[in-house]
């Protein structure tokens, strides 16, 4: 009989609240940023000939801590951008816009998660904590609060926050001053530029209505497409700095870079910008997943 105190409506409301919370932390973006943390951690173990089992404690502290910090940054982004989110179709249903979760609760949650995450990371290494804070500060302050609405360089600035994620994982094991973590940073930093530009071209009208100073909105599609070619071209030499990962990785990564460059060049001539941008977006998402998963596959002996 005591179960009657918990009607099905309450369970439904609980699931709805959980769904709203996952929307608040942008679960897709969160996962795509935590994965590189794991990659950095995994590769640091591989190149230092260390055992994953012997570092389980550090692993959980690194992943949970970085997840909290990244989630905190994403939540604060939602809190600050509530005025422009209500003007964009893809963001108008966020709980900050609908009022499902009060803004003061959103702000408090973002700060608490950030502090908890940084504290957990301090139990790994100070260097890993510094990288996490740099990523958080860049995304929340330099990108969200300062440059996003003012300068087209906002994408370049924001890319730093996503690129430091593998450094967090790597630095939890050893200093991230060697060539591999630096190249991982460059991979993610450069990748984010054409990826974000593709999103902006697809959602051009929404960004324009919201007054966000994205490159396609301010300088047009042609300038943006030329820059995308340059950024994708900058990815071409990077696999050759990761030859310790094996020939298969270098070959596959190079082929992916060549295909992406060809798609970028095609964009200079096509008249169907929206269709092309959608193809570029889908390719960029799969490109990153393939590259990161391939890094795990070619180093699988680490698990033994």
- Give the closest residue to 194 by CA, choosing from 151, 234, 231: 231
pLDDT in tens, 115-143: 999 999 999 999 999 999 999 999 999 99
pLDDT of amino acid 41: 98
CA nearest to 157, candidates 142, 137, 146, 168: 142
What the chain holds in terms of domains, given with CATH numbers, is: 26-303 (1.10.600)
The pLDDT of residue 301 is 67
Q: Which tokens in the block code for residue 254? A: 């190079």
Digit-coded pLDDT (tens) for 208-224 = 988 899 999 999 999 99
Return the CA Rg of the chain: 20
Q: From residue 29, give the alpha-carbon distance in Å to each of 86, 216, 222, 230.
A: 19, 22, 27, 25
Q: How confident is the model at residue 303 (pLDDT cuts 50, 70, 90)?
A: very low
Q: Percentage helix, strand, coil, to 5, in the chain?
A: 80, 0, 20
| Maximum pairwise Cα distance, the chain | 70
């Amino acid at each position: 009989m005591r179960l009657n105190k918990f009607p099905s409506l309450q369970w439904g409301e609980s699931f709805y609240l959980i769904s709203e919370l996952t929307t608040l932390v942008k679960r897709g973006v969160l996962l795509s940023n935590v994965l590189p943390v794991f990659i950095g951690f995994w590769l640091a173990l591989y190149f230092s000939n260390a055992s994953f089992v012997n570092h389980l404690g550090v692993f959980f502290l690194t992943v949970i801590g970085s997840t909290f910090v990244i989630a905190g940054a994403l939540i604060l982004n939602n809190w600050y951008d509530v005025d422009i989110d209500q003007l964009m179709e893809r963001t108008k249903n966020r709980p900050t816009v609908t009022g499902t979760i009060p803004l003061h609760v959103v702000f408090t949650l973002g700060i608490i998660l950030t502090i908890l995450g940084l504290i957990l990371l301090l139990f790994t290494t100070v260097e890993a904590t510094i990288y996490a804070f740099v990523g958080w500060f860049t995304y929340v302050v330099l990108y969200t609060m300062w440059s996003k609405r003012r300068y087209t360089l906002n994408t370049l600035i924001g890319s730093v926050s996503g690129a430091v994620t593998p450094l967090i994982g790597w630095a939890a094991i050893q200093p991230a001053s060697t060539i591999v973590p630096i190249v991982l940073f460059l991979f993610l930093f450069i990748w984010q530029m054409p990826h974000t530009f593709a999103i902006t071209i697809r959602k051009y009208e929404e960004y324009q209505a919201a007054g966000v100073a994205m490159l396609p909105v301010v300088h047009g599609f042609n300038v943006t497409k030329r820059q995308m070619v340059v950024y994708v071209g900058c990815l071409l030499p990077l696999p050759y700095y990761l030859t310790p990962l094996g020939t298969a990785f270098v070959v596959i990564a190079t082929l992916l870079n060549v295909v992406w460059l060809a798609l970028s060049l095609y964009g200079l001539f096509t008249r169907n910008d929206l269709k092309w941008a959608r193809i570029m977006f889908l390719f960029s998402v799969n490109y990153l997943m393939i590259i990161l998963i391939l890094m795990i596959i070619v180093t699988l002996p680490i698990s033994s």
